[in-house]
């Protein structure tokens, strides 16, 4: 069964405003130079909850949302492209309720999930677009899916998780260990405009971009680890799940690219790195905005032809390790310049159509499976299908011993990728 639009019937759509007005000194939120380089799109997550006696609390979800919006005041605002800032005048977050004409169990494992979203992934950056939209999807069985979209202009995956965690705490009335967000990133990284590359993202869905969900369960991860254990004989830390899956998919994507073109070509491998708690002094894990840098490595056409999984594991591992260690310099003297020049370099090279640029985003460390609104933890968490080619997003499995990889490719590239023998072994 495929999820189709006719199964999802929107019942209501409203704006939820902060329960107290945003102070005048916070009515304007400027962007950091990291925010400005992001694609025009929304960051989205969907959390799936089975029926529970306490689930009949949509009104409580509304109330708790209004309750925490004063802390997350930019999320109730609107973005001005001309001024490159968020007008935080309490215009409101969008709140949608929808009825789904199937059971929750019917959609677990599907790849086409965007109909659960309140807005299209690419519908962002216009003055009429809410910075944040939420859709509560109610299934025939009594279960629900809570879909949250926040403009990527001012939010990354960590910011989304911070918001969801705070909203859930407020919803269940938990007043312990308060989550106190801050929006100080423009103070640390103000000013310069890197220019936004053309990511090819459209406001409406692009049928030529398709998504493949690949489950690497604990057995698959163990098999990959066995292949490179000899590289870590003298190390106390074996290769991580993320590194193993990223390296495996890198090899497969480059192999399928060669199959399509009939020859190898150079590549640029890009991994998003969260800088929170890694700087000196450490930025709070509850800092909101886009607080990331990019770990990247280039390979020539000859290298992509000769390298395999066992080469990519140490190559990608060392690249990310060096980028993480460089985070300690970001808030120091010349740190701003280091971060800016790194982002500028990667953005420029990613725009070179003669090389194969592959982007990896790891969301495994964010606690989406811990988000409890008062009716238990989700049984599944997903992203939406992102209309951006050559993008791989990694998510935890519920048991935290495997990884779900969401691979976004052009449909022609996906054909070759799905026919790759190693990918077929994983997916069959």
Question: Which of the 8 DSSP states describes residue 127?
Answer: T
Catalytic residue among 29, 152, 336, 359: 152
Active site residue 413: no
CA–CA gap between residue 9 and residue 17 (Å, rounded) = 24
Tell me the two tokens of residue 54: 């306490």
Q: Is the dihedral of CA 344, 347, 351, 355 positive or negative?
A: positive
| Whole-number Å distance between alpha carbons of 343 and 270 | 11
Cα–Cα distance, 367 to 359 (Å, whole number):
22
**What stretches of 57-108 show up as alpha helix (H) in DSSP?**
58-68
Per the omega criterion (within 30 degrees of 0), is the bond before 297 cis?
no
Question: What gap in Å lies between CA 340 and CA 354, rounded to an integer?
Answer: 24
Cβ-proximal residues to 211 (8 Å cutoff; 6+ apart), any chain: 111, 112, 385, 386, 406, 407, 408
- Nearest Cα neighbor of 243 from 318, 347, 328 is 318
- Cα dist from 76 to 135, 137, 158, 287, whole Å: 15, 21, 18, 17
- State how far the Cα of 368 lies from the Cα of 164, in Å rounded to an integer: 8
Distance from C-alpha of 424 to C-alpha of 255, rounded to nearest angstrom: 13
φ, ψ for residue 190 (rounded to 5)? Answer: -80, 170
Which residues make Cβ contacts (< 8 Å) with residue 262, sequence separation at least 6? none
CA distance 124 to 111: 22
Question: Quick one: which of 202, 252, 248 has its CA closest to 225?
Answer: 248
> Does 415 qualify as catalytic in the annotation?
no
First to last CA, the chain: 18
Q: Which of 31, 17, 142, 11 is nearest to 84 (CA)?
A: 31
CA-angle at 380, arms to 386 and 139, nearest 5°: 95
Q: Is there a contact between 269 and 297 (Cβ–Cβ < 8 Å)?
A: yes
Task: Name the catalytic one among 87, 184, 217, 372.
Answer: 372
Tokens standing for residue 331: 């808030």
Return the active site residues.
Answer: 152, 372
């Amino acid at each position: 069964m495929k999820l189709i639009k006719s199964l999802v019937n929107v019942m209501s759509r409203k704006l939820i405003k902060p329960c107290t007005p945003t102070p005048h000194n916070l009515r304007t939120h400027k962007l950091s130079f990291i925010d400005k380089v992001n694609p025009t799109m929304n960051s989205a997550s969907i959390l799936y909850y089975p029926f529970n006696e306490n689930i009949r609390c949509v009104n409580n979800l509304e109330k708790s949302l209004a309750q925490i919006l004063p802390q997350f005041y930019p999320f109730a605002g609107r973005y001005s492209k001309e001024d490159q800032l968020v007008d935080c005048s309490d215009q409101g977050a969008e709140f949608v309720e929808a009825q789904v004409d199937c059971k929750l169990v019917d959609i677990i494992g599907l790849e086409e999930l965007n109909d659960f979203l309140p807005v299209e992934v690419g519908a962002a950056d216009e003055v009429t677009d809410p910075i944040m939209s939420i859709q509560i999807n109610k299934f025939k069985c009594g279960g629900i899916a809570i879909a949250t979209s926040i403009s990527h202009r001012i939010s990354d995956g960590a910011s989304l998780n911070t918001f969801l965690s705070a909203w859930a705490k407020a919803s269940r009335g938990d007043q312990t260990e308060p989550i106190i967000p801050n929006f100080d990133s423009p103070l640390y990284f103000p000013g310069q405009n890197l220019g936004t590359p053309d990511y090819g993202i459209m406001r409406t869905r692009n049928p030529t971009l398709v998504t493949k969900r690949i489950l690497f369960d604990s057995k698959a991860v163990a098999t990959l680890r066995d292949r490179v254990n000899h590289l870590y004989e003298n190390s106390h830390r074996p290769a991580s799940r993320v590194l193993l899956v990223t390296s495996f998919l890198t090899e497969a994507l480059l192999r399928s690219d060669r199959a399509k073109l009939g020859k190898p070509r150079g590549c640029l491998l890009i991994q998003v790195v969260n800088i929170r708690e890694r700087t000196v002094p450490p930025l709070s894990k509850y800092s909101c905005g886009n607080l990331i840098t990019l770990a990247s490595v280039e390979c020539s056409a000859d290298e992509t032809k000769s390298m395999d999984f066992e080469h990519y594991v140490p190559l990608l591992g060392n690249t990310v390790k060096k980028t993480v260690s460089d985070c300690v310099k970001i808030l120091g003297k010349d740190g701003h310049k280091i971060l800016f020049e790194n982002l500028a370099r990667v953005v420029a090279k990613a725009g070179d159509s003669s090389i194969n640029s592959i982007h990896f985003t790891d969301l495994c460390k964010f606690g989406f499976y811990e988000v409890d609104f008062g009716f238990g933890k989700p049984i599944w968490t997903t992203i939406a299908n992102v209309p951006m080619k050559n993008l791989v997003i990694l998510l935890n499995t519920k048991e935290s011993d495997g990884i779900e990889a969401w691979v976004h490719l052009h449909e022609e590239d996906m054909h070759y990728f799905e026919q790759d023998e190693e990918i077929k072994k994983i997916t069959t």
